[in-house]
Amino acid sequence: MRNKNINHVVHEWLDELIHTNDMIVDATCGQGYDTLFCLQKGAHVLGFDVQKKAIQKTKQTCVDYPNLQLINDSHAHLNQYITHFNGIIFNLGYLPTSDKTIITTAESTLMAFEKALDCLPQHGWMVVSFYRGHEGGEEEAQLGIQWMNEHLHILKTYTYEGVNRAPIAMLGIKR
């Protein structure tokens, strides 16, 4: 049996979660595909990335949407820009087709998780895709999954069956 693409699964989840005029944070906007999906659902999106290349790519991907603000900064600083939102998306790892030495880290990700939890309303949601194939990715996934299990009610989890170091996607709701 062939596995469904993890990004398609996450978009199925987001399709059920996002409502018109919701405020969504894309904590790692990368190439802008999750950002665009949220914008197409009628959400307002605040997108973060540490790489200018990612901000530029997301801007190009989402050119027709005025309800977007992009921040060239770490997701660990999100509370400096926003204090409340309905949901947040993390797509961890590195920017495809870019410098693979620029990665998310367990330290900055856990800081961002804590700050996101403070900004989420009760029943606000967090969708995280952990990519474990890069250096530090396995540790980031282990610590991130542990944090999510301790702080959120986990509704859904998805990974590729039988694939070594497969990515893991999780959907959690603030208790």
Looking at residue 11, its pLDDT comes to 98
Residues 94, 59, 22, 168, Cα dihedral to 10°:
-20
d(CA 24, CA 34): 10
* Mean pLDDT, rounded, for 164-170: 94
Query: In the chain, pLDDT over 90 holds for what percent of residues?
Result: 84
* Mean pLDDT, rounded, for 148-174: 95
Instruction: State which fold the 6-174 domain adopts.
Output: Rossmann fold (3.40.50)
Phi-psi region of 130 (alpha: psi -120 to 50; beta: other; left: phi over 0): beta
**Average pLDDT of the residues of the chain:** 94
Query: Residue 111 corresponds to which tokens in the numbers above?
Result: 């800081």
Looking at residue 6, its pLDDT comes to 94
pLDDT digits (tens, 9 = 90+) for 76-132: 999 999 999 999 999 998 767 766 677 788 999 999 999 999 999 999 999 999 999
* Mean pLDDT, rounded, for 158-174: 94
Higher pLDDT, 153 or 2: 153
What residues does each domain of the chain span? 6-174
**Residue 137 near residue 99, CB atoms below 8 Å:** no
pLDDT digits (tens, 9 = 90+) for 15-49: 999 999 999 999 999 999 999 999 999 999 999 99
On the question of pLDDT at 1 being above 70, the answer is: no
d(CA 14, CA 37): 8
On the question of pLDDT at 3 being above 60, the answer is: yes
The residue whose two tokens read 């800081």 is 111
Looking at residue 95, its pLDDT comes to 64
Other residues' Cβ atoms within 10 Å of the Cβ of residue 80: 10
d(CA 40, CA 90): 18
